[in-house]
Amino acid sequence: MDGSAVSSSDRPRYILGISAYYHDSAAAIICDGKLVAAAQEERFTRKKHDPRFPVEAVKFCLSFESVDLGQVEAVVFYDKPLLKFERLLETYMSFAPRGLRSFLKAMPVWLKEKLYLKKELRRQLADLSGVEISELPPLLFSAHHQSHAASAFFPSPFEQAAVLCLDGVGEWATTSAWLGEGNKLQPLWEIDFPHSLGLLYSAFTYFLGFKVNSGEYKVMGLAPYGKPIYSDLIKEHLIDIKSDGSYRLDMRYFEYCTGLRMTSSAFESLFGLAARNGESDELMQKHMDIAASIQQVTNECVLLLARSLHEETGCDKLCLAGGVALNCVANSEVIKSSGFKDVWIQPAAGDAGGAPGAAWAAWYLHFGQERQISYPDAMQGAYLGPDYSESAIAETISQFSAVGNRVDDETLFDQVASLIADGAVVGWFQGRMEFGPRALGHRSILGDPRRRDMQEIMNLKIKFRESFRPFAPSVLQERASEWFDCSHESPYMLTTAPVAYSKRDDRISGEASGLDLLKLKRSEIPAVTHVDFSARLQTVGEGGSERYRRLLEAFNNLTGCPVLINTSFNVRGEPIVATPEDAYRCFMATDMDYLVMGNYVLAKTDQPDNDAFRGHVDNFELD
């Protein structure tokens, strides 16, 4: 982006950021540099990871600020498609003749989707706003990794920081390093496609039978059930990692450049195992060992990259973004051992976060505006989506002829805490919807972490997902160190921490392995203690959700335990709920016991036609 001054005016200045056409499309709007609203399109369309132009998300962002597109200073897209096309041609030519044939075959699609993207974006915006294309605000483009870097640095609480972005691929970069200072972002270096740590992890996601761009977190959750016995094999054959963390992949083992699969037959031969056929194939110990191995290799590579960047820049602060930054295990290694004193991670680190990143890149790098630093950060706790009034919630209850009681705040939190302590599973729908992949206490399903059977109950009867999947704990920030070996805040559930030794069960036997580890009671909070004693932690401080914190305080006062199970309010294959209607449908389609929307408490046993919503679950796409 070229720098130029924004025109002087007393009116608020808005910039709309958009990410679309790959996965997790989203829109975000900033006002005078402040992020005021952001949402993923999937939440409105109910199509998980929806990649289409974010019509509904754009409408929400504009309506939240009561502005139309004509009042927006600029619209910014998070990618530069022409750059991608040029680099695609250059690289595919290097694979000639096979690569050239594949490129020529794919060229019509690329010409349509990439060369004419600017025209398509303008058409979509014009249709959405009902104005002529000539009347639209300027359309700008921020490079993909520049959008990631902007989403990491500009909302961080740091005046100066190193920035590391890791994902599958942008236009061409897969890993990039930046130096952020004030309102500037200086690119330092990058690693380009086809060499990609994100695509390496996705190749293993595919090989282990999970969906690419959706199931990577399943690989991370599966890893603790195995042993990293294939780590050396991976580093000897698949990825060559240098001492500074830079790397190259041996492309003989991968087909994502020229084929329709992530891995080649050579990959299968290397492990002596065919790719697992989704959910239909048995999950074996070897699969778990492979998951543990790629996780360890990922940890090592990310940590070496971070250490190298620390030495290169001399900064003591680091910002992370890109899809790989959602790997909370690798993040924790960086926090613990990279040498940086403070690390801040964009909560919407994947492509959705490119929308606010592109808007910030325009505000600071294109328009040259002065940066205002916010504490603890500028992401507003990630509570950036729509909220619903009490009257809207009451209307939904009436629409479904549902039965609910309104409870005042004075008794609501104690009542819900008591229900959870008695073993109930509660759908918790409050305030503004979260932006990003994590539910952070506004669109959450909650349970008692002390119950040994709660992980199985919530996985099989509520979430309809694999039994090996761990659940995350939310904990009062000031009590976190009593229950977890955690010296840092984790408001966005992007790091892991071991459960404190004082809370562990010392009778654990070393004889169990694989999924049999699920049968062992590992701690005083077994439902959120993974088989390696780790937990993907959310700390809830004074700056977090006030209502969620009040519930945690009530549960702590009642039980002496300041921890709740917090999983996203959805079932497998479905996006997190957005509206009261979404919440009620999900509640009725599962074995949740209670739904709390605002101040309304709904008991499952009081609802009419409990079985009428069961077919809703049968239609979910399994991921």
Question: Is pLDDT larger for residue 261 or for residue 113?
Answer: 261
pLDDT at 435: 98
pLDDT at 85: 55
Q: Give the pTM.
A: 0.92
Report, as an integer, the average pLDDT of 445-461.
89
Topology classification of domain 14-155+348-378 = Nucleotidyltransferase; domain 5 (3.30.420)
- Rounded to 5 degrees, φ, ψ at 151 are -70, -25
The CATH number of the structural domain formed by 390-504+517-618 is 3.90.870.20
pLDDT of 611 strictly over 70: no
User: Tokens 């990630």 identify what position?
Assistant: 382
The model's confidence at residue 6, banded by pLDDT at 50, 70 and 90, is very low
pLDDT at 297: 98
pLDDT at 117: 82
Topology classification of domain 190-345 = Nucleotidyltransferase; domain 5 (3.30.420)
Half-sphere exposure for 351 (CA within 13 Å, toward CB): 28
Q: Amino acid identity of 312?
A: E
Residues 219-247 pLDDT 10s: 999 999 999 999 999 999 999 999 999 99
pLDDT at 86: 57
428 close to 444: Cβ distance less than 8 angstroms = yes
Residues 336-395 pLDDT 10s: 999 999 999 999 999 999 999 999 999 999 999 999 999 999 999 999 999 999 999 999
Residues 556-565 pLDDT 10s: 999 999 999 9
pLDDT at 119: 86
Biggest alpha carbon distance in the chain? 72
The Cβ of residue 347 has, within 10 Å, a number of other Cβ atoms equal to: 27
Q: Where are the domain boundaries for CATH 3.30.420.40 in the chain?
A: 14-155+348-378, 190-345
The three-point CA angle 489-493-494 to 5° equals 90
73 close to 4: Cβ distance less than 8 angstroms = no
What is the C-alpha to C-alpha distance for residues 447 and 549, in angstroms, rounded to an integer? 15
The three-point CA angle 567-573-574 to 5° equals 70
User: Tokens 């999947």 identify what position?
Assistant: 469
The Cβ of residue 141 has, within 10 Å, a number of other Cβ atoms equal to: 24
Q: Where are the domain boundaries for CATH 3.90.870.20 in the chain?
A: 390-504+517-618
Q: Can you say whether the dihedral through the CA atoms of 578, 579, 585, 591 is positive or negative?
A: positive
Burial (CB count <10 Å: 0-12, 13-18, 19+), residue 310: buried
Structure tokens, 598: 């605002």
pLDDT at 108: 47
What is the C-alpha to C-alpha distance for residues 92 and 69, in angstroms, rounded to an integer? 39
The three-point CA angle 154-159-163 to 5° equals 55
**What is the distance in angstroms between the CA of the first residue and the CA of the last residue of the chain?**
38
